[in-house]
């Protein structure tokens, strides 16, 4: 595909800005972070409008998952960036004394950020916070599936941030493909494992490093709990499934593993909680996002098309194609070879899989690709230890769901098919930096045995 003259001009300007050195300065970085905070403060209503248009997202959910998350990230970066930029002293062997060793973080250069549509503002600007904290110039491509958010970013970001250092480029696959032909110093991608493979192949042509924030099926384990703990667990499961973009979330709960003897009580409690949070069945549902597009609506509703899967529905199962709404739906033991149990659901369907013993959940998880997140509701310390040591996942959270995403001290990212690399807090800064090794020697103490001729030299250990 031929490169457009506009793109070539933009990239040349961004490279020139990087070469000028202005993005390396602490004050420039801080000014950009303050500009992001100002953008969020002054445009909250426009962000809520865009998210309403793209996903029917309630303003409270939009504040919690997008505006609030970004304010937290930008504030934290603003307070920390000077410390992050500072060179870290390194140890050196006595043999090389006198000398000084340092690890100096340096920006990578011009980076490409490809964002997803489910949290279209936060998943676009959160990596930008890391990239500019680290002193890079940036091209951001929002997802074409959330057009109102994409156009909000394209129109608003240049009014606040340094447009010689950051460009928002809108578009779909064609635009992404054209961008992927360019040489970048880093590609940061949020999206599916399928497209992640395409990104990595394109990056390989230029030996460009990648961070791939991907998805997959995130299991939740529910062990036996007291009634009061169970009530809290159910709220957290319902919130972590349907209260998070209606299940269209990378760390959202994909399915629940539970002992067979608790399955019926679990279904009853889930139904009660769904009713309390989202209201009675269609068309009276509230506080629930819609499915992002007709093709995703077809993909999710087709998962129920298999008659064996349809037969396992114990709650919900209806939809409104015109408004792209799918009712919160619970399935009890759908067949494990059906698409709903092999593909990432990314929608409001929740399979419950019953086991004889909760310990079997470990093998169940290990027989499948490594998840981005495991959530486990249990007070059994021995079982927790087993889960920690015998499973692998991007994160594991005990007795809650999703909240690990907002802890700046924790790395966020996958392992295996759920992703490569991590970000959030200092990890974001590191993701967009190169740690340069700097060694400064003195001219004193030049030990002769390091140089030839060695023939007459006798090692005396």
Q: Could you list the residues that contact ligand NAD (CB under 6 A)? A: 114, 116-118, 123, 141, 143-144, 172-173, 176-177, 180, 190-192, 195, 198, 213-215, 250, 344, 346, 372, 419
CA distance 452 to 438: 26
> Please, what is the minimum distance in Å from the beta carbon of residue 138 to ligand NAD?
15
Q: Measured between alpha carbons, how far is 276 from 384 in angstroms, rounded to an integer?
A: 31
CB of 446 to ligand NAD, least distance (A): 52
C-beta of 15: minimal distance to ligand NAD in Å?
22
Q: Is 289 a residue of the active site?
A: no
Instruction: Count Cα atoms within 13 angstroms, Cβ side, for 458.
Output: 1
Task: Specify the 3-state DSSP secondary structure of 280.
Answer: coil
Would you say 202 or 266 has its CB closer to ligand NAD?
A: 202
Q: Are 167 and 139 within 8 A, CB to CB?
A: yes
Sequence-ordered list of residues with C-beta below 8 angstroms from that of 54, at least 6 positions apart, any chain = 117, 120, 145, 146, 147, 148, 149, 292
Give me the catalytic one of 250, 273, 289, 344: 250
Nearest approach, Cβ of residue 249 and ligand NAD (Å)? 7
d(CA 248, CA 253): 10
Matching residue, tokens 């959940």: 361
Q: Pick the closer one to ligand NAD by CB: 190 or 431.
A: 190
Residues 6+ apart with CB under 8 A from 460: none
Q: Active-site residue among 66, 213, 327, 344?
A: 213
67 in Cβ contact with 47 (< 8 Å): yes
Quick count: other Cβ atoms within 10 Å of Cβ 97?
A: 12
Residue 118 or residue 431: which is nearer to ligand NAD going by CB?
118
Position with the least CB separation from ligand NAD: 215
Tell me how far, at minimum, the Cβ of 28 lies from ligand NAD, in Å: 27
R_g of the chain, CA atoms, integer Å: 25
Q: 159 or 173: whose CB is closer to ligand NAD?
A: 173
C-alpha span between 427 and 421 (Å, rounded): 9
Decide if 381 is catalytic: no
Considering beta carbons, is residue 135 or 394 the nearer one to ligand NAD?
Answer: 394
Where in the sequence numbering do the catalytic residues fall? 213, 250
């Amino acid at each position: 595909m031929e490169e457009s003259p506009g793109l070539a001009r933009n990239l040349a300007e961004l490279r020139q800005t990087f070469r000028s050195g202005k993005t390396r300065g602490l004050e420039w970085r801080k000014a950009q972070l303050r500009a992001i905070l100002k953008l969020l403060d002054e445009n909250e209503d426009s962000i809520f409008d865009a998210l309403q248009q793209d996903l029917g997202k309630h303003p409270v959910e939009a504040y919690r998952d997008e505006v609030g998350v970004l304010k937290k990230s930008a504030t934290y970066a603003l307070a920390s960036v000077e410390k992050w930029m500072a060179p870290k002293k390194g140890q050196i062997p006595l043999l090389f004394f006198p000398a000084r060793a340092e690890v100096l973080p340096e920006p990578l250069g011009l980076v490409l950020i490809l964002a997803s549509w489910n949290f279209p503002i936060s998943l676009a600007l959160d990596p930008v916070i890391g990239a500019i904290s680290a002193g890079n110039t940036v091209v951001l491509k929002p997802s074409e599936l959330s057009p109102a958010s994409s156009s909000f970013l394209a129109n608003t970001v240049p009014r606040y941030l340094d447009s010689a250092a950051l460009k928002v480029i809108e578009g779909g696959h064609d635009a992404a493909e054209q961008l992927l032909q360019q040489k970048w110093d880093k590609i940061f991608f949020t999206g599916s494992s399928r497209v992640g493979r395409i990104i990595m192949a394109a990056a390989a042509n230029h030996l460009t490093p990648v961070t791939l924030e991907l998805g997959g099926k995130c299991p939740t384990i529910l062990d036996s709990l007291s009634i009061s703990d169970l009530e809290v667990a159910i709220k957290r499961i319902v919130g972590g499934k349907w209260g998070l973009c209606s299940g269209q979330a990378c760390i959202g709960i994909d399915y629940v593993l539970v002992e067979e003897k608790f399955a019926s009580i679990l279904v009853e409690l889930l139904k009660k909680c769904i009713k309390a949070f989202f209201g009675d069945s269609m068309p009276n549902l509230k506080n629930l996002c819609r499915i992002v597009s007709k093709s995703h609506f077809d993909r999710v509703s087709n998962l129920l098309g298999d008659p064996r899967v349809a037969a396992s529905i114990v709650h919900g199962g209806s939809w409104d194609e015109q408004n792209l709404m799918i009712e919160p739906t619970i399935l009890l033991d759908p067949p494990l070879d059906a698409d709903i149990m092999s593909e990432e659901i990314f929608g409001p369907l929740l399979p419950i899989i019953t086991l004889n013993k909760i310990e079997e959940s470990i093998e169940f998880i290990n027989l499948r690709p490594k998840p981005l997140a495991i959530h486990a509701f249990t007070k059994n310390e021995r079982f927790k230890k087993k889960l920690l040591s015998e499973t692998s996942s991007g994160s594991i959270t005990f007795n809650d769901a999703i909240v690990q995403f907002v802890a700046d001290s924790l790395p966020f990212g996958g392992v295996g098919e759920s992703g490569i690399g991590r970000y959030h807090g200092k990890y974001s800064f590191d993701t967009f930096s190169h740690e340069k090794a700097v060694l400064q020697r003195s001219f004193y103490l030049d030990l002769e045995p390091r140089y030839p001729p060695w023939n007459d030299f006798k090692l005396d250990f």
